Amino acid sequence: MKMTGGAIVVRALADEGIRFAFGIPGTHNIELYDAFGDSDRIRPVLVTDEQSAGFMADGLWRASGELGCVNIVPGAGLTHALSGIAEAYMDGVPMLVLGCGIRRRTTHSYQLHDVDQLAIAAPVVKATFRPETGAQLYPVLREACALARSGTPGPVMVEVSIDLYLTRHEVEPEAWGPAPAPAIPGASREEIARATALLSAPGIKPLLYAGLGAQGATAELLALAERLEAPVATTIQGKGVFPESHPLFLWNGFGAAAPPFARDVAAGRNLTLAIGCRFSEVGTGSYGFTPPGPLIHVDINGEVLHRNFPAELGIVAEARGFLTQLLDELSGRNDPRAAAAPDPELRRRIREGHDAVRKDWIELRSVDRVTPFVLLDALQKEFGPGAIFTADSGNGTFLAMECLRLERPGRFLAPVDYSCMGYSVPAAIGAGLGKPEAPVIALAGDGAFLMTGLELLTAANQQVPVAVFVLRDRELAQIAQFQTTAFNRAVASRLPDYHLGSIAEAVGVEWLALDSDAEVVEVVRAARATMQAGRPVLVDVAIDYSNKTWFTRGVVKTMLHRLPWPERIRFVGRAIGRRLTGG
């Protein structure tokens, strides 16, 4: 039968379960948009800037596991979208990047938007495809989606030329189906036996360290932690993979960027089992720890093993399958190993450590503005355990990481390894579309908000009732804090002031001011009421950043220690000199 290119693409997307295509139409893909108009399965979501298209598809997947499509015009659409695509690439988030190509059946040169798109996208996607015929469209799109979801997930780009959209093609839909799923790697019997032997050797006190790759394995991770009586730390991305109310939950990290109790507990362990993580710079607080060795490192992607820390045993395996096998082996009928007894001393240190951290935050309350912990605690209490938080690149990410206690993965969405400012508002909209039943709260820095805050217009237009809390310190604090510590001055990191309420009014969104701790509960409740009525809301928070996070304090120290001695002396000397002279 004959089908248009647009109809074939829409059919492939729908068969992949894709419900949302984020982007802005252009002359090259209006045929596709017309086909969207005929579809009741795919909603094209109009964004204000294509970088948000990537962040929305990212938030959609992280919150709900649903694949999103970034749908962009050639050249300018792609270059705007690259930030969101690159964030997804570095953070392991799958998405279909549906690029549109210029005419190929022409002898003309210097066409509109004519750049080598696949070359531009190649470093930030897992693969690129350029179907040549209409018949290739459907199978190529299905293959691209399968690849995006497999292994370490990530974006995959397919460029569809306008030629294919403008014409009809002879195709056989009866022959269409999903692409073969790539094999899921698992551990061999020998690898499981070696891991078991290392873990159950006499005197071994393991530390478990879990990343986003372990997000489908919470139950197994819990069973293993209890069986080994091992404390569990997670990466930043992995926040919530292990329930954070559990007595064995340590921290999101365990090195110099963690509070003293977490550092001490980790230092007392003598083996690390790391699952579904890759020891990235941000996750490790700038490589601010060495995993207590020996290290058993398990990841679905063999390339991450032995990269930052050599492993005694590196295993290429999907987390849940690995943990199931390991638990079977530990409790095997032939050679059952005794489960470790609960360690009251360990649990006491962890409990008292968390209590002390909490006490500090409460005691260091702001006198005239909003204390971060007071706000985050109130948000958790008012919105309950189903709430989804998005964070941005900035101080807010680390405050949220340290103050929120989450029981499940998919509740803390943050741009970590690419760390791109502008993530939180569009990611919240993506999350809200994927999980309409969950309250979604964006924690945006006042610098980051300037980049993508206008997407509140999209939230209003799409009727996604997100709450955006803008943390107003009138600084690029994450950088200004580094600058004032190291240089005793902050250059180009003070923000010019702007009136947030006017922006809210301009895009037709309600707004609230939150000026002090005393108002926190009342304002959070008012924001919640607006969301429950189906409308987005913006909150202007006079945040007090005077207490630095454990993360920032740790990273400043670690970075200093990574410098060669003469440079260290220069840095410290300059900071002291400027403090003494007031310069």
Residues forming the site for ligand TPP (CB under 6 A): 392-396, 419-421, 445-448, 471, 473, 475-479
Instruction: Take residue 500 and report the two structure tokens written for it.
Output: 């947030």
Nearer to Mg ion, 288 or 445 (CB): 445
C-alpha angle with apex 111: 106 to 114, nearest 5 degrees? 115
- Indicate the Cα dihedral angle 79, 81, 83, 89, nearest 10°: -110
Tokens linked to 364: 């260091």
Q: Which is nearer to ligand TPP, 25 or 394 (by Cβ)? A: 394
Q: Select the binding partner of residue 448 from Mg ion, ligand TPP, none (C-beta < 5 to 8 A, by kind).
A: ligand TPP
Question: Shortest gap between Cβ of 536 and ligand TPP (angstroms)?
Answer: 19
435 vs 472, beta carbon nearer Mg ion: 472
- Residue 371 binds which one of ligand TPP, Mg ion, none, with CB within 5 to 8 A depending on kind? none
Beta bridge mates, 441: 389, 467
**Identity (one letter) of the amino acid at 514?**
L
Exposed / middle / buried, residue 106 (Cβ in 10 Å: 0-12, 13-18, 19+): exposed
> Do 142 and 180 meet the contact criterion of CB atoms below 8 Å apart?
no
CB 222 within 8 A of CB 243: yes
Residue 344 · residue 353 · CB < 8 Å = no
49 binds Mg ion (CB under 5 A): no
Residue whose CB is less far from Mg ion, 146 or 490: 490
**In terms of DSSP bridges, do strands 388-390 and 440-445 run parallel, antiparallel, or are they unpaired?**
parallel
479 contact, one of Mg ion, ligand TPP, none, CB 5-8 Å limit per kind = ligand TPP
The number of beta carbons lying within 10 Å of the beta carbon of residue 139 is 16
Between 210 and 428, name the residue whose CB sits nearer to ligand TPP.
Answer: 428
**Which segment (64-72, 163-171, 433-441, 471-479) binds Mg ion by CB under 5 A?**
471-479
Q: Find which of Mg ion, ligand TPP, none residue 220 binds, CB within 5 to 8 Å per kind.
A: none
Q: State yes or no: residue 477 binds Mg ion (CB under 5 A).
A: yes
User: How far is the C-alpha of 188 from the C-alpha of 329, rounded, in Å?
Assistant: 12
Beta-sheet strands, E only, within 324-452: 388-390, 412-413, 440-445
Determine, following the binding rule CB under 5 A, whether residue 509 of this chain makes contact with Mg ion: no
Write down the least CB distance from residue 303 to Mg ion, Å.
36
| Residue 192 partner contact from ligand TPP, Mg ion, none using kind-dependent CB cut-offs of 5 to 8 Å | none
- Closer to ligand TPP at the Cβ: 159 or 475? 475
280/419 with CB nearer ligand TPP: 419
Interface characters, 432-451, with Mg ion (x: CB under 5 A):
-------------xxx----
- State the binding string over 19-38 for Mg ion (x if CB under 5 A, else -): --------------------
Which residue has its beta carbon closest to ligand TPP?
Answer: 445
Report how many residues bind Mg ion under the rule CB under 5 A: 6
Name which of 33 and 423 has its Cβ closer to Mg ion: 423
396 binds Mg ion (CB under 5 A): no
Stretch 217-236: interaction string toward Mg ion, x if CB under 5 A: --------------------
Q: Does 500 bind Mg ion (CB under 5 A)?
A: no
**Residue 32 DSSP symbol:** H
Separation of alpha carbons 102 and 75, rounded Å: 9
Instruction: Convert 191-229 into a string of H (helix), E (strand) and C (coil).
Output: HHHHHHHHHCCCCCCEEEEECHHHCCCHHHHHHHHHHHC
Strands (E), 205-294: 206-210, 232-234, 271-275
Give the separation between CA 181 and CA 512, rounded to whole angstroms.
48
Q: How would you class 459 by CB atoms within 10 Å of its CB: exposed for 0-12, middle for 13-18, buried for 19 or more?
A: buried
**151 vs 396 by CB, closer to ligand TPP:** 396
Please report, as ranges, the residues that interact with Mg ion according to CB under 5 A: 445-447, 473, 475, 477
